[in-house]
Amino acid sequence: MKAVQVVAFGRAAEVVKLNEVPDVGSPGPDEVVVAVEAAPINNSDFMIIAGRYGYLPPLPATLGIEGVGRVVARGAQVKHLKEGDRTLVPTMHPTWTERVKFKASWQRPLPDNADVRQLSMVGVNPATAYLLLTDFVKVPRDGWVIQNGANSATARAVIAIAKSLGIKTVNVVRREEVVAEVKALGADVVLLDGPDLAKRVAKETGKAPIRLALDVVGGASTLNLMTCLAPHGVVVIYSGMSGQPFTGSPLSVIFNEVSVRGFWLGHWYKTATDDAMATMYGHLVPMVASGAISAPVVGSYGLEGFSEAIAKASAFKGKVIFTPN
Amino acid sequence: MKAVQVVAFGRAAEVVKLNEVPDVGSPGPDEVVVAVEAAPINNSDFMIIAGRYGYLPPLPATLGIEGVGRVVARGAQVKHLKEGDRTLVPTMHPTWTERVKFKASWQRPLPDNADVRQLSMVGVNPATAYLLLTDFVKVPRDGWVIQNGANSATARAVIAIAKSLGIKTVNVVRREEVVAEVKALGADVVLLDGPDLAKRVAKETGKAPIRLALDVVGGASTLNLMTCLAPHGVVVIYSGMSGQPFTGSPLSVIFNEVSVRGFWLGHWYKTATDDAMATMYGHLVPMVASGAISAPVVGSYGLEGFSEAIAKASAFKGKVIFTPN
């Protein structure tokens, strides 16, 4: 079977190849074999290709870290999936290939009438958004969270998931042009970033205490978020899109006991229980199926179209999906 | 009686006065009255005078946040102190005055043969150093801690206390001239700050994992410390001497799960139990009495010399002590 692989770390045009790889073979007693229907290109794929990610696989390595497909074979002990069922592939499992094999545990059949391309993206951006909102600070209903980079894929999911949890969002963007778009997603407040952010946030929220800030940008934007936080607030950094070191206020951390933490989905999946997985996907899958969580898709490609697919995705205008079967 | 007070927030030369204030009166049943022997000028006094501190007292307010004195009267229920005993004044209790009155709980008599000026400083810098080393990360014996601003008063105490706990220190300084001085304090490693710090630290420590970094500087120095930390390391910020926002590495917090926290002694004292106080002072007082913890003193003044005392202290060449009795 075929797989899109990285054969050395470097420039995608030179190091990504479509290779013939051994078939996955028959499932073990607790395993399923799945024919991949859809698997997106994520930022982390680009970082792995470039050799600049939190973990780097031994080479050559099949790319892709999430996806969805149909069960084509199952082991005798597998109870919750049968042949023909659509299922999620475990996140961090390589998916830019025709068939994958994995141990089925928390997986359940997915709705057949949902957009399979949207479903294929539930395990990274929406999962990150869900965990950012639920794993660090217990935000009460009608409480507030603040985030920057508010038109990114994960931030869009934050807006939708926050709404589903009864949490209000302050959304910080860097360009005036995207304000209307982010408002249309259901954002409660959308503001341009800047050093006077705290003052404008206080005005928009009626000085409501905010204890959770989600930072995808870094640089001065982290400091701006931090100054909006109430005592004991937490800034959670989950990417650094600006490429700059993040900055922070000594006064906030010393006198307001604000802290800075990081979040990487890779760490979470390594230790997550089946129950935690089931709870999370139980919340997210219906939201994706209903369209409440949605990411703009700009193209779908078979594996043989990998070169064009990667070039398209690297323009960051929207998501590109592989559809191997 | 007399007290050195701040009457408005602003420039010390204009807003600090020697005022006549009412005497403290007789002790309540669980209180003692103490004649102040020694009380230092701390950085926080300057910050309070300028109106830029974590808490600001109603004005006019007697200054000073720590000190030592002799019990001159005690309430009937006070068991552990008697008249004539030397005792610590509770930290954060104003001390630039002749007599203070407070509830005696964890206090015990202090050694008579110790340097009273050094004893008067145990509650702020050595206490901060002790809590920075013990309250955030459990550093094992022979484990390492890294700190910057290593020739500051608190950092000097960190070196001594770390040694008493069997912990080794990497000490980062900004000027070559102070390297020998910090080494002479018992520092295991002393290095100049810089963006390549992590590499030089790894060489000096044999790549030992470091999970605690103490930051008094801010700016780029925080980032430099952070990049020296092992997974799950904590950067504790307890001042921002550079006046710059601190900076940090998104990669460290996301992939290495390094976090940033703040420490302010004021918060700690508000919630500390008598047991925690007794344990801490039980560790620190003998170290001060023996000279293992020591801060350079550049002058002692009666309260009437307040103007000169404050001018001298504001040169930051060493500690200045009030000796009201």
Residue ranges and CATH numbers for the domains of chain B are 2-122+298-322 (3.90.180.10), 136-262 (3.40.50.720)
Is residue B54 very low, low, confident or very high in pLDDT (cuts 50, 70, 90)? confident
Neighbours of B311 (CB within 10 A): 13
- How large is the ipTM? 0.93
Helix (H) or strand (E) holding A309: helix A306-313
pLDDT of residue A54: 77
pLDDT greater than 90 at residue B187: yes
Residue given tokens 């290779």 in the structure block: A19
Compute φ and ψ for B159, nearest 5 degrees: -60, -45
Q: Which residues of A are catalytic?
A: 53
pLDDT of residue B196: 96
* Crossing angle (nearest 10°) for helices A274-290 and A153-164: 100
Residues of A in Cβ contact (< 8 Å) with B256: 262
**Interface probe with B: pick from A254, A268, A269, most Cβ of B within 10 Å:** A254
pLDDT of residue A150: 95
Task: State the average pLDDT over residues B275-284.
Answer: 96
Give the bridge partners for A89, in sequence order: A67
Is residue A53 very low, low, confident or very high in pLDDT (cuts 50, 70, 90)? confident
pLDDT of residue A270: 92
Nearest to B262 among A238, A246, A258 (CB): A258
pLDDT of residue A187: 97
Strands (E), chain A: 2-6, 16-20, 31-40, 61-62, 67-74, 86-89, 99-103, 144-147, 168-173, 189-192, 210-215, 234-237, 246-248, 259-262, 297-301, 319-322
CA-based nearest residue to B112, from B293, B289, B279, B296: B289
Euclidean distance between CA atoms B290 and B115, whole angstroms: 9
Residues of A in Cβ contact (< 8 Å) with B247: 245-248
Neighbours of B234 (CB within 10 A): 18
Shortest Cα distance, chain A CAs vs residue B214, angstroms: 12
Please report, for residues A40, A71, B55, B195, B292, the alpha-carbon distance to residue A110 in angstroms, rounded to integers and kept in the order given. Answer: 17, 11, 55, 50, 67
A286 touches chain B (CB under 8 A): no
Task: State the average pLDDT over residues A244-265.
Answer: 97
A268 touches chain B (CB under 8 A): no
Task: State the average pLDDT over residues A83-87.
Answer: 98
What's the pLDDT tens digit per position in B290-317?
Answer: 999 999 999 999 999 999 999 999 998 8
Nearest to B264 among A218, A239, A255 (CB): A255
pLDDT of residue A321: 98
Are A248 and B248 an interchain contact pair (Cβ–Cβ within 8 Å)? yes
Task: State the average pLDDT over residues B136-157.
Answer: 96
Residue given tokens 């933490």 in the structure block: A261
Euclidean distance between CA atoms A85 and A80, whole angstroms: 10
Euclidean distance between CA atoms A2 and A324, whole angstroms: 9
Euclidean distance between CA atoms A103 and A30, whole angstroms: 6
Lookup: tokens for A161: 């998931």
| DSSP secondary structure letters along A124-173 | THHHHHHHHHHSS--PPTT-EEEESSTTSHHHHHHHHHHHHTT-EEEEEE
B45 touches B111 (CB < 8 A): no
Are B264 and A254 an interchain contact pair (Cβ–Cβ within 8 Å)? yes
Neighbours of A19 (CB within 10 A): 14
pLDDT greater than 90 at residue A52: no
B64 touches B94 (CB < 8 A): yes
- How large a percentage of chain A has pLDDT more than 90? 96
Interface of A with B in 26-55 (CB under 8 A): 54
pLDDT of residue B52: 87
Are B223 and A245 an interchain contact pair (Cβ–Cβ within 8 Å)? yes
Compute φ and ψ for A27, nearest 5 degrees: -75, 145
| DSSP secondary structure letters along A172-218 | EES-GGGHHHHHHTT-SEEEE--TTHHHHHHHHHTT--EEEEEESS-
CA-based nearest residue to A236, from B15, B76, B250: B250
Shortest Cα distance, chain A CAs vs residue B234, angstroms: 10
A245 touches chain B (CB under 8 A): yes
